[in-house]
Amino acid sequence: MEPQRHPTEPVGFARHDHSHCVEDALAAAEARCLYEGLRFTPVRRRALEILLERHRAMGAYEVLERLQAEGLGAQPPAAYRALDFLVANGFAHRVERLNAFVACNHPGEDHIPAFLICRSCNRVAETVALPARAQLVSAAAASGFEVERVLVEAEGRCAACRQSDSE
């Protein structure tokens, strides 16, 4: 119900002060919405908070469950609408491989995300994919294809899971 307070919760695959990262990201989102005239409604705010709390990719129905528990929308469309808003405005990304959503690690930075997805613990780390995009754009140009959006996702195993495997 309330954010986890352990100061070294893993995010992506690194440890960090989780309580601050949730608060900061939420505050930043709030500020940016105000600035850009976007409506950061309770459902949307809470949906982002849910993604941030876990710092994992979460399915829409998983988010929905938590919204329901607090009376913020009871049906699938509520969750999808909130998540669509977050994705459309760069507060979160959709991870195609998992049919799931994850809070953005570089909000407000105008970037092309790339994801590292651990197939054991399902955690997701976000990095950037600019070189991949450049390569693809030039490859595409040969056939007259115009690239609008690029999606880069790597599947593998994170350090922690590889470690625990060999134990």
Partner DNA sequence: CTTGCGGTGTTATAACATATCATTTAGACG
Partner DNA sequence: CGTCTAAATGATATGTTATAACACCGCAAG
Q: Determine the interface stretch with a second copy among 51-59, 81-89, 100-108, 153-161 (rule: CB under 8 A).
A: 153-161
Minimum distance from residue 17 beta carbon to a second copy (Å)? 18
CB 117 within 8 A of CB 153: yes
- Nearer of residues 45 and 94 to a second copy, judged by Cβ: 94
- By a kind-dependent CB cut-off of 5 to 8 A, residue 147 interacts, out of a second copy, DNA, Zn ion, none, with a second copy
Residue from 72, 86, 114, 116 touching DNA (CB under 7 A): that is: 72
Task: Mention every residue, 6+ apart, whose C-beta is less than 8 A from residue 82.
Answer: 43, 44, 46, 47, 63, 67, 73
The yes or no reply on residue 120 touching DNA (CB under 7 A) is no
- For residue 81, the one-letter residue type is R
Quote the crossing angle between the two packed helices 42-54 and 76-88, to the nearest 10°.
Answer: 80
- By a kind-dependent CB cut-off of 5 to 8 A, residue 60 interacts, out of a second copy, Zn ion, DNA, none, with DNA
CB 116 within 8 A of CB 128: no
- Cα separations (Å) of 90 from 96, 105, 160? 16, 10, 29
Minimum distance from residue 61 beta carbon to DNA (Å)? 4
Site size toward Zn ion (CB under 5 A) is 8
* Alpha carbons 135 and 140: distance in angstroms, whole number: 9
Residue from 4, 75, 120, 163 touching DNA (CB under 7 A): that is: 75
Minimum distance from residue 12 beta carbon to Zn ion (Å)? 11
Query: What is the torsional sign of CA 126, 29, 10, 73?
Result: negative
The yes or no reply on residue 139 touching a second copy (CB under 8 A) is yes
Question: Which H or E element spans position 112?
Answer: none
Which residues of this protein are in contact with Zn ion, per CB under 5 A? Answer: 104, 106, 113, 118, 120-121, 158, 161
Which residues of this protein are in contact with DNA, per CB under 7 A? Answer: 38-39, 41-44, 59-62, 72-78, 80-82, 85, 99-100
